[in-house]
Structure 1
Amino acid sequence: MSADRHRALVRLPPDGRGRTRVAVAERPAPRLDPGDVLLAPLVAGVCGTDWQILHGLRDDPSPVLGHEGTARVVEPGTSGLRTGALVTVNPTHPDDPSFLLGHNLPGLWAERTRIPASAVRAGLVLPVPDTARRPEVAALAEPLASVLYGRDIALTAARPASVVIWGDGVVGRLARKVWQREVPAPRVLLVGRGTDATAPDDPRLPGLLAELPSPVCALLATWRTGTREALTEVDRHIRGTLVADVHAGLAAGPVPLSCGEPDVAALRADNCGGLPRQPLVHRFARPGGPLLLHGHRGVSRDHLERAVALLSDAAFTTDDVLTHEVDLAGAAELINSVLAAPRREADGRRVLKVAVRPGGA
């Protein structure tokens, strides 16, 4: 890295199947406007949304992905942050859709990342205590904050007697940890492909869903290609009050359910970045009991701060979620090998959260 160049994990042109592999490449130093902040990413996560972009399931244009992690402040501008301070970034601006870090703006998979003044003024660059646990864990702050946001909304609708978590990836496993910390802890059923989960095609699953005590909170944390099926299944088999947290994305348009055909994608986006203060939960009548449907986009500063504090708690273990730690070159090798493979595995282990160390801090 030099004063005018830095390394980044850059997306390559899509192949015939729409996949964009990545390569380590040099990029010009970001040009700063007044009020901008320049960061040196310390650790950046690879999340499920990134995998969807890389697989061509989303059309986000940023050449450099990465919207979760920690960084050191290189040039603080007028932010009031000190040079060298450890920070994290809230990747979603609730009032400015032009700022979506790692989606439509270059993200944290780089030795240098520019945060524009509008995001700095909105308080999206948050100091992180240097006393926090090892920085790799901070790659989990944004997904954990999203889990906390979804749980907060669900609890405004009903206090669940049981929880279904459909999807045993990073969000699903963090959600299980969060819900199991509740006092009293509700019964939790994890649906996924891991050895500690019930498979979606397990013939016992409909019966397990039907016998869950009401109210039931169903967190749908699948890939966007599986969201409709997961929602349809919980709607079909769960009786009593069903609080459905549509955490995963899905295509716009009507979804046939026992209550009718709501546009779930539109309803999911009603809550964004902690707003409105009283979150929106949509109530539908259905034969098996009321359906209380919600979702959200982004997180608030409060959610991120709570997530960082929780990750600093030694009792909140993450070894089963943070599966791989790599530098930029290692990240390129891992990502490209996963894109070419039938299963998301690397080094003989299932890939959940990848922590990338760009190396420029």
Structure 2
Amino acid sequence: MSAATHRALVRLPADARGRTRVEVVELPTPRLGPEDVLLAPVTSGICGTDWQILRGLRADPSRVLGHEGVARVVEPGGTGLRTGSLVTVNPTHPDDPSFLLGHNLPGLWAERTRIPATAVRAGLVLPVPEGADRPEVAALAEPLASVLYGLEIAVGVTRPAALVVWGDGTVGRLAREAWQRRLPGTHCLLVGYGADAVDPRAPGLAELLAGLPEPVGVLIATPRTGTLEALSAVDRHVRGRLMVDVHAGLPSGPVPLSAGEVDVAALRADNCGGEPRPPRVRRFDRPTGPLLLYGHRGVSNRHLRQAVDLLLARPPEPRGGGVLTHEVDLPGAADLVNSVLDADRRVADGRRVLKTAIRTGGGDDG
């Protein structure tokens, strides 16, 4: 049986700017209903969406965030899952919007997390191989799965001669690697703020975009606040056949593009959790060439398993290198989150924060 209480990283009341600092708090371990499952997270990730919530850019109500990671089963609730086995959770229910792990339900930044029966029955608790709790696997599987989802849609539409990845955070860098592995030899332009990227404010960027060989594929993986600027720039400067994956979130409502006004947020929601098949891709006629526009939310179990397998096959990332830049325990996560919020810069311990893995132990005390 699980302990009566557990530690969790809990959001505090918002400050005047809407930001929510966090602290480690002892909470009552949730009681389970029929067919609920209790998990002990081992390793979880801090993703870009989490940073948006912490900064007050999204209104998600959960006090405990965390929707990507690996856990051990503590109480299987008669589901057939084995106590002590390693699992991951698909955080998005395709048919039940009330289940969105770490957004409107308590997430994985805790020593115990309850997964409700509706998600268990939908098969969202997935067994994974031993070793999948490695920080770079647990923290990167869900974002890589989302990249693979978008890539699968793209290759079903056209093979690009050039690729633009706009946003050089975790998703952007995973996308560049995945696209170049799937489509070797494709010219790739990374737009962002890292040393290997072109700054989006660079005066020569428009010329670079205009000179790309068509067809051009674009993946927009910016923070939510940069999505519209990136979409407008590629629409304005890329000529010929253009395919855009709006991976990043954006406000609802019409967006002015050269082909007319488009509700890009609604279009992005057309593909969710691997459905429908074939995915929906909209075509718009621009003065400079056709625009093929799509987006997607969530991932399928198939994408998650594929991502876990790919990451397990890779050598472990050195701590502080690659996409996984920080590894912390729960108190260390509180320090990192609060320092980033206070400084208003994604920097901790002198390094840019891309992906952070939080180690919670996975029931070592239970």
Question: What range is the shorter-chain TM-score in?
Answer: over 0.9
CA contact (8 A) 1:43 1:136 kept: no
Stretches of structure 1 that go unaligned for 5 or more consecutive residues are none
Correspondence for 2:331: 329
Identity %: 72
Change in Cα spacing, 1:39 to 1:160, as seen in structure 2 (3 Å) is same
TM-score by length of structure 2 reads 0.96
Q: Deviations over 1:249-286 (max 9, x none)?
A: 00011111100010111111000000102100011000
Q: Residue type of the partner of 2:281?
A: V
Correspondence for 1:345: 347
Describe the SS at the equivalent of 1:304.
helix
CA contact (8 A) 1:20 1:55 kept: yes
CA distance in 1, matches of 2:127, 2:37: 13
Q: Residue type of the partner of 1:335?
A: V
CA distance in 2, matches of 1:31, 1:289: 57
Shift of 1:183: 3.9
Shift of 1:313: 1.6
Q: Residue type of the partner of 1:68?
A: E
Matched ranges for 1:167-316 at <5 A: 167-314=167-314
Q: Deviations over 1:59-84 (max 9, x none)?
A: 00001000000000001112211111
Shift of 1:155: 1.5
Q: Residue type of the partner of 2:350?
A: G
CA contact (8 A) 1:219 1:244 kept: yes
Equivalences, count? 361
Q: Deviations over 1:73-123 (max 9, x none)?
A: 001112211111111100000110000000000000000000011111111
Shift of 1:134: 2.5
CA contact (8 A) 2:89 2:125 kept: yes
CA distance in 2, matches of 1:22, 1:133: 24
Shift of 1:302: 0.4
Stretch moving more, 134-143 or 214-223: 134-143
Correspondence for 2:139: 139
CA distance in 2, matches of 1:61, 1:24: 18
Shift of 1:156: 1.8
Describe the SS at the equivalent of 2:338.
helix
CA distance in 2, matches of 1:167, 1:220: 6
Correspondence for 2:154: 154
CA distance in 2, matches of 1:36, 1:193: 43
Q: Residue type of the partner of 2:353?
A: V
CA distance in 2, matches of 1:131, 1:224: 33
Change in Cα spacing, 1:179 to 1:171, as seen in structure 2 (3 Å) is same
CA distance in 2, matches of 1:163, 1:360: 40
CA distance in 1, matches of 2:136, 2:315: 17
Change in Cα spacing, 1:138 to 1:171, as seen in structure 2 (3 Å) is same
Correspondence for 2:13: 13
Describe the SS at the equivalent of 1:256.
strand
Shift of 1:131: 4.2
The 4+ residue runs of structure 1 with deviation greater than 3 A are 315-319
Q: Deviations over 1:206-264 (max 9, x none)?
A: 11111111111110000111100000000001011111100000001111110001011
Describe the SS at the equivalent of 1:303.
helix
CA distance in 2, matches of 1:37, 1:135: 23
Q: Deviations over 1:24-78 (max 9, x none)?
A: 0011111101111100000010000000000000000001000000000001112
State the superposition RMSD in angstroms.
1.5
Q: Residue type of the partner of 1:245?
A: D
CA distance in 1, matches of 2:136, 2:244: 31
Change in Cα spacing, 1:315 to 1:26, as seen in structure 2 (3 Å) is closer
Q: Residue type of the partner of 2:219?
A: L
CA distance in 2, matches of 1:62, 1:134: 26
Change in Cα spacing, 1:79 to 1:64, as seen in structure 2 (3 Å) is same
CA contact (8 A) 2:4 2:29 kept: yes
CA distance in 1, matches of 2:275, 2:2: 41
Change in Cα spacing, 1:176 to 1:136, as seen in structure 2 (3 Å) is closer
Change in Cα spacing, 1:54 to 1:133, as seen in structure 2 (3 Å) is closer
Shift of 1:23: 0.4
Shift of 1:137: 2.6
Q: Deviations over 1:143-173 (max 9, x none)?
A: 0000000111111221111110000000000
Stretch moving more, 119-128 or 105-114: 119-128
Correspondence for 2:42: 42
CA distance in 2, matches of 1:342, 1:119: 36
